[in-house]
Amino acid sequence: AQTVTQSQPEMSVQEAETVTLSCTYDTSESDYYLFWYKQPPSRQMILVIRQEAYKQQNATENRFSVNFQKAAKSFSLKISDSQLGDAAMYFCAYNQGGKLIFGQGTELSVKP
């Protein structure tokens, strides 16, 4: 069964600094997709970044980038120049064959 693990329940970062959120997953498949979603206190789910497993190049979206290590089944999210608005719950997710599985989440706080 596919599983997604986020081992950091909480993280904290100083405004303007960089933070990395960890995610590992377990699968026997070779073709799949990975995502990071952000959930602010409003409960709205917002897509941050996505990565196709067949692409070796790491995805980037402005201040957000990933470190995708396929062999290690690791998919970490780096947030650069952290802003107060980045404070939220972050979820890593895996999609294979239409089955979309989420990790436990990491709550990120940003200190001014």
Q: Which stretch binds other proteins (CB under 8 A): 18-26, 42-50, 60-68, 80-88?
A: 42-50
- Closest CA relative to residue 65, chosen from 77, 55, 73, 75: 77
CA distances from 81 to 73, 85, 108 (A): 26, 11, 14
17 vs 55, beta carbon nearer other proteins: 55
Instruction: Count residues near other proteins (CB under 8 A).
Output: 24
What part of residues 66-95 is at the interface with other proteins (CB under 8 A)?
A: 91, 93, 95
Q: Which stretch binds other proteins (CB under 8 A): 16-24, 29-37, 65-73, 74-82?
A: 29-37
CB atoms within 10 A of CB 6: 20
Q: By CB under 8 A, is residue 16 in contact with other proteins?
A: no
